[in-house]
Amino acid sequence: MQLDLNEMTQLAPIFRELFKGYHLSRSEPECYAQLSQQQDQYRALFRALGFELVCDPRGFYYFVPEQMGTQVNKTAQRLALFTFILVEHLADQGRDPLAVLDGGTLGRPELPALLDKYRDLFLQAEVTTQDELEEKILRRLTQLGFALDSNGSYRFLPPMHRFLDVCLAVQQDRDLAASLHASDLPLPAPTLAGDEEDAEDGSAEDDEEAALARAIAAEREFDL
């Protein structure tokens, strides 16, 4: 496939965000529009670099490296656990979890009651205070493109479907609440690329710049 760098005007920001694990959706209109318009070209380029560009039909893009370890990272486990908790919490309140986690919001005033109600489960994620809940979970959701922090509330974006899919799969086998409270096994979680929390300090930016340089160099090789 012939690739033209001049047409891929958003290559640098697209690669930068995907490389660090961000999920690109319509909340990033320029990058999302170009990925949608040149999906095949970007997939070919990134495949040559060892990355799989996943194009979810529900409206978001993300990276899964071809050589990904089987161990799910700590961030993914925390975010999966939080999603399971939130689904149960919303259902108990008579609210539709899907409606909230697909474009709906969660206000900061709701966090203390949520933390208190599920304190034992949050301990599994090493979360004991509201500050830790926001720092270790909600801030990571915004950093990875799963949510937006807006005016005292968190608005969930289409990539949350990655965690919702896991919840729905578990519900097909057994009641979600029972599985949360009865099982000591780690909860299933999607594999997240580029977890900067687990990276060594100071190395993530250098790795990103080197990978971006390789991407541009590889793209130029396609034109030769």
Per residue in 136-163, pLDDT (tens digit) is 999 999 999 999 998 889 999 999 999 9
The model carries a pTM of: 0.83
**pLDDT above 70: residue 222:** no
CATH number of the domain at 11-68+198-223, please? Answer: 1.10.10.2250
Q: Which of 23-32, 180-189, 205-214 shows the lowest per-residue confidence on average (mean pLDDT)?
A: 180-189
**pLDDT above 80: residue 115:** yes
Q: What angle do CA 218, 220, 223 make, to 5 degrees?
A: 120
The DSSP code for 135 is I
| Residue 178 pLDDT | 57
Beta bridge partners of 61: 24, 55
Tens digits of residue pLDDT in 93-110 = 999 999 999 999 999 999
Q: Domain residue spans in the chain?
A: 11-68+198-223, 74-182
**pLDDT above 80: residue 196:** no
| Residue 168 pLDDT | 77
Question: Nearest to residue 189, comparing CAs of 91, 53, 82?
Answer: 82
**pLDDT above 60: residue 179:** no
- For residues 166 and 193, the answer to whether their CB atoms sit within 8 Å is no
